[in-house]
Amino acid sequence: MSNALRWFLWLWIAGVTVAGLLAAPLAQGFAGRAGDAPESSRIVYFHVPLAVTSFVAFLAAAVWSALYLWTRRPRHDDAAHAGVEVGLVFCVLATVTGGVWAEVQWGAFWNWDPRQTSIALAILFYGGYLSLRGAVEDPDTRARLAGVYAVLGFVVAPFLFFIMPRTVGTSLHPEPGGARMDASILWIVLAGIAGQTALFFWLQSLRRRILSLRRTDLRFGA
């Protein structure tokens, strides 16, 4: 990423942060348990983009894994590995910000809401992906098995993210697109999603380059 693009990304994220914290109106219907914490709704500008970006990250990792299984080019495996590592950071941050907001809105950090269950399983799954990588010595076998596991995750994911929350139990979360919000709030959330997604792809590309260099070093015994 060029210097100009990097600066543009930082300015974008800073702009979304300032707009979310200072300029945007407070969301109606998010006034806290006792109606005494209306400012808590501003966490939506971080929580929702983090959650959407982690979903994009795991989708991208599954695509890179499928590409690796198709072409057997190690750079696709590096991309998937980096995508899961960085995506997991976004996923954990989405869980923590969600927990903080849930404490204010619903009275508990964790309620086993279907969406909370889905994200907890995603963390377990991609933690398992990293454990699998650590448990296989041969690089080709490691890349192949990790690729299969990542693709398997995305076969199961639609069930976790879209079917179970709508059929088993009632969710405290609003349906996607179901929450009525002021147009300015929606635009800042969308700008946040764009910024966080760009940040993910930048961090992922940095991590992928480190992994590729490390693999090349190991191959030549440096």
Contact positions vs another protein (CB under 8 A) = 69, 117, 121, 124-125, 127-128, 131-132, 135-137, 140-141, 144-145, 147-149, 151-152, 155-156, 159-160, 163-164, 167-168
Given the complex with another protein, which of 48 and 84 has the nearer CB atom? 84
Rounded Cα distance between 170 and 114, Å, is 7
Rounded Cα distance between 112 and 190, Å, is 27
Rounded Cα distance between 222 and 212, Å, is 14
Q: For the chain, give me the number of helices (H) and strands (E)? A: 7, 0
Given the complex with another protein, which of 100 and 132 has the nearer CB atom? 132
How close are the terminal C-alpha atoms of the chain, in Å? Answer: 27
Residue whose structure tokens are 């619903």? 106
Give the shortest CB-148-to-another protein separation in angstroms.
Answer: 5
Element (H, E) at 109: none
Give the shortest CB-58-to-another protein separation in angstroms.
Answer: 12
Given the complex with another protein, which of 166 and 209 has the nearer CB atom? 166
Rounded Cα distance between 38 and 30, Å, is 6
Given the complex with another protein, which of 52 and 143 has the nearer CB atom? 143
Given the complex with another protein, which of 34 and 155 has the nearer CB atom? 155
Give the shortest CB-178-to-another protein separation in angstroms.
Answer: 21
